[in-house]
Amino acid sequence: MVARAADRRRWSGSVLRAAVAGAVVSVLVLTSACGSASNKYVTNKAAGVYVKVPDGWSHVRIQDPQLLGIDARQMSPDMYVALSQREWMTKLDASGSTQPTTALAPDSQQPNGFLQVRQLLPEEAKTISTNSLRNLLVSIDDAEAAQEAAIKQDPVGARLHPAFLLLSDETVKKADGVHGVHLVYQLSTSAGLAEIDQTSLLDQNQTVLYQLVITCTAFCYAQNSPAVDQVLRSFTIKPTSTS
pLDDT (mean) for 81-109: 79
Q: What is the pLDDT of residues 35-90, one digit of tens each?
A: 444 458 999 999 999 999 999 999 988 876 554 544 444 444 444 444 444 678 89
Q: Which residue has the higher pLDDT, 21 or 196?
A: 196
* Confidence band of 138 (pLDDT split at 50, 70, 90): confident
Q: Which residue has the higher pLDDT, 25 or 184?
A: 184
> What pLDDT is stored for residue 37 in this prediction?
47
**% of residues, the chain, pLDDT over 90:** 51
> What pLDDT is stored for residue 193 in this prediction?
92
Q: Which residue has the higher pLDDT, 23 or 104?
A: 104
Residues 6+ apart with CB under 8 A from 208: 47, 117, 118, 119, 120, 202, 239, 243
Q: How far is CA 132 from the centre of its chain?
A: 13
> What pLDDT is stored for residue 72 in this prediction?
41
Q: Which residue has the higher pLDDT, 145 or 124?
A: 145
> What pLDDT is stored for residue 39 in this prediction?
53
> What pLDDT is stored for residue 86 in this prediction?
64
All domains of the chain, ordered by start, with CATH? Answer: 2-237 (3.40.1000.10)
Q: Which residue has the higher pLDDT, 50 or 122?
A: 50
pLDDT at 239 over 70: yes
**% of residues, the chain, pLDDT over 70:** 73
Report pTM. 0.78
Q: Which residue has the higher pLDDT, 169 or 11?
A: 169
- Alpha-carbon gap, residue 157 to 159, rounded angstroms: 5
DSSP states along the chain: -HHHHHHHHHHHHHHHHIIIIISSTTTTS--B---EESSEEEEETTTTEEEEEPTT-EEEEE-S---TTS-GGG--HHHHHHHHTTEEEEEEETT--SS-S-S--TT-SS-EEEEEEEEPPHHHHHH--HHHHHTSSS-HHHHHHHHHHHHHH-HHHHHHS-SEEEEEEEEEE-GGG-EEEEEEEEEEETTEEEEEEEEEEE-TTS-EEEEEEEEEEHHHHHHTHHHHHHHHHH-EE---TT-
> What pLDDT is stored for residue 62 in this prediction?
80
Q: Which residue has the higher pLDDT, 26 or 90?
A: 90
- Alpha-carbon gap, residue 67 to 82, rounded angstroms: 12
> What pLDDT is stored for residue 2 in this prediction?
37
